[in-house]
Amino acid sequence: MNRIFDNANRFFDRQLTFRSRLLVLLGAVMLIPTFFLPLWHMTLYSNQFPEGLRLSIHSHTLEGEQSKYRNDLEEINALNHYIGMRPLVEEDFTEFKWIPFVLGGVILLSLRVIVLGNISKLVDLTILFTYFGLFSLWSFQRKLYLYGHELDPTAAVTVDPFTPPMIGHQTLANFEVYSFPGAGSYFMALAPVLFILAMWLSREAGKERNPASS
């Protein structure tokens, strides 16, 4: 048992290699596009809108696709009004206030890891970022559930409570709804992968320098 703890302590105290530090830096850089690229896309198709109504969810705002004749977010809110769903407005999404802040904090902590170069700091950062990602997905799913279940009973059209899909396709009334991650989410998902790879490279380098301690 003591040997297990000793090996764990040696692993956490190990310094990151130069390649590992570059990977941590690359992971931090991967988060920069999440401030500009959409994190999620939702598209609604119907006979009335065969070309689809498109909604993009960013880290800080909602955007409907705009054309010369319409704004898709306004059209979606108009349709939601008929079934008693409250409008999609940025003020209801508290996530827009803390997601950019957390992403900026992770970038700064990544730079701290690069400077200190300690695996234990990188483990802490990876766990923190993983928790943030899982909590964000839970918060998004909960928001979808509340929007589809807190319906106005006096609405012009009565529908059963529903939960719009977070990933994939679902038929809602006369609409076909598709929901998928945007480019920003893929960049965000790369960061922890690079952090874990950085840990693995430093671990392997440490084993090569001191094989007896493995």
Which domains, from first to last, does the chain contain? 16-213 (1.20.140)
The rounded distance, in Å, linking the Cα atoms of 92 and 87 is 9
User: Tokens 């964000």 belong to which residue?
Assistant: 136
62 and 90 Cβ atoms separated by less than 8 Å: yes
What pLDDT does residue 175 have? 82
Residue 153 DSSP one-character state: T
pLDDT tens digits along 132-170? 999 999 999 999 999 888 888 888 878 888 888 999 998
What pLDDT does residue 211 have? 56
Q: What is the mean pLDDT of residues 64-83?
A: 84
- 24, two tokens: 């941590």
Q: What is the mean pLDDT of residues 181-189?
A: 95
What pLDDT does residue 102 have? 95
The rounded distance, in Å, linking the Cα atoms of 41 and 57 is 6
What pLDDT does residue 214 have? 45
| Max avg pLDDT among 5-14, 73-82, 117-126, 157-166 | 117-126
Sheet-wide strand order for 62-64: 62-64, 53-57, 40-45, 175-181, 168-172
